[in-house]
Amino acid sequence: MEKSILVTGGSGFIGSNFILQWIEQERSPVVNLDKLTYAGNPRNLISISSDPRYGFAQGDICDRERVRELLQRHQPRAVVHFAAESHVDRSIKGPDDFIRTNVHGTFCLLEEVRAYYAELTPPERNLFRILHISTDEVYGSLGPDDSPFCETTAYAPNSPYSATKAGADHLVRAYHHTYGLPTLTTNCSNNYGPFQFPEKLIPLVVLNARAGKPLPVYGDGMNVRDWLFVEDHCRAIRRVLARGKPGETYNIGGHNEQKNLTVVQTICALLEELAPERKPKGLRYFRDLVAFVADRPGHDARYATDATKIARQLNWRPKETFESGLRKTVQWYLENEAWWQHTLTGEYRLARIGQPASRGETSPA
């Protein structure tokens, strides 16, 4: 059997989608290291919990002894680093956890990977990679006529979240240039798709609309984001891991710029088509639930990501349009009520599926 990969934060939204796709498409075993904060849901991976190629280890990336133990035991050929605090609103209310996980946690991981890498044989070093997953928010905000972010765009983060991710990006870059660690970094645009925590815009709108609750839109709703279907993002990560050049950064975007208000209105139209019978009594149109609220502090006006580099060098392009990806996403939430009900009630945090309670760990066979 091929050597495993170690994934941090693999029970979260993007990480779990990545692991599911990896198990379906690749041969290498996966070890998932996750702290299981509010955003980490073991139910995301229930379909592969008995697969001999999947193993789970509960732990914190800030726990260097735990990270060291897993590296030594599993001897992975790669580390894919998703673990992060990622919600802007939460970072504004309480940035401490973001600094601890996104900056200090990345530092701890890099230090342990550096020590592990030093002990590898020359052939093993040639194959080893550590891939850091980041965000386009590190680049700041664009004006309506500005060119999209590219890999050489100067960093200008505007929230505690994006500032901590920028700090992590700089550490990863420094560990390549200073210590020769074979790092890779990806900066992605806004993701959406199955298993996204309901605090994020698209699942929040779907579930609030079903419940007849207001659909909150910041400011005038004209803020623009580039939307990337999560399965396309995961394909891009796999491509970068397989073919990316150590030390390089690759932007990943969906080529789907949309105003926030347009996203909400499109979801409402899809719900009218796909689930008119689920409309709350007395409500004429789902769009009537739209409610404009006070704008977020420091709200970036526009994100747009230039993914030319990954297209030209690694031959990756998104498969989904915004329309096709959003339709799949809305349909998924309509068909998976048990998942989001468990998430909303917090029951998922009480059930650790496929994990021994004493140790919180299973290993690939």
Q: Is the pLDDT of residue 356 over 50?
A: no
Average of per-residue pLDDT values in the chain: 94
Q: Is the pLDDT of residue 364 over 80?
A: no
Q: Cβ(302)–Cβ(142) under 8 Å? A: yes
Q: What is the pLDDT of residue 86?
A: 86
**What does the pLDDT average to over 327-345?**
94
Q: Cβ(16)–Cβ(34) under 8 Å? A: no
**What does the pLDDT average to over 17-37?**
97
Among residues 84, 335, 71, 345, the alpha carbon closest in space to that of 194 is found at 335
Distance CA 241, CA 341 (A): 35
**What does the pLDDT average to over 349-353?**
57
Q: What is the pLDDT of residue 194?
A: 98
Q: What is the pLDDT of residue 237?
A: 98
Q: Is the pLDDT of residue 334 over 60?
A: yes
**What does the pLDDT average to over 21-44?**
96
SS3 of residue 7 by DSSP: strand
Among residues 194, 190, 191, 192, the alpha carbon closest in space to that of 332 is found at 194
**Of the given ranges (1-5, 39-43, 102-106, 112-116), which has the lowest mean pLDDT?**
1-5
Residues marked as catalytic? 136-137, 161
**What does the pLDDT average to over 117-130?**
98
Question: For residue 198, how many other CB atoms are within 10 A of its CB?
Answer: 15
Distance CA 220, CA 277 (A): 30
Q: What is the pLDDT of residue 357?
A: 34
Q: How confident is the model at residue 362 (pLDDT cuts 50, 70, 90)?
A: confident
Q: What is the pLDDT of residue 359?
A: 43
Q: What is the pLDDT of residue 4?
A: 98
143-160 tens-digit pLDDT: 999 999 999 999 999 999
Q: What is the pLDDT of residue 351?
A: 55
Structure tokens given for 299: 């709200």
Q: What is the pLDDT of residue 358?
A: 33
179-230 tens-digit pLDDT: 999 999 999 999 999 999 998 999 999 999 999 999 999 999 999 999 999 9
Q: Cβ(301)–Cβ(143) under 8 Å? A: yes
Q: What is the pLDDT of residue 266?
A: 98
**What does the pLDDT average to over 59-73?**
98
270-320 tens-digit pLDDT: 999 999 998 988 899 999 999 999 998 989 999 999 999 999 999 999 999
Q: How confident is the model at residue 354 (pLDDT cuts 50, 70, 90)?
A: very low
- Rg (the chain; Cα; Å): 20
Give CA torsion, residues 25, 29, 34, 38, to 10 deg.
30
Residue type at 338 in one-letter notation: A
Sort strands 54-58 and 78-81 into parallel, antiparallel or unpaired.
Answer: unpaired
The residues, ordered by sequence, that sit 6+ positions from 275 with a Cβ below 8 Å of its Cβ are: 210, 334
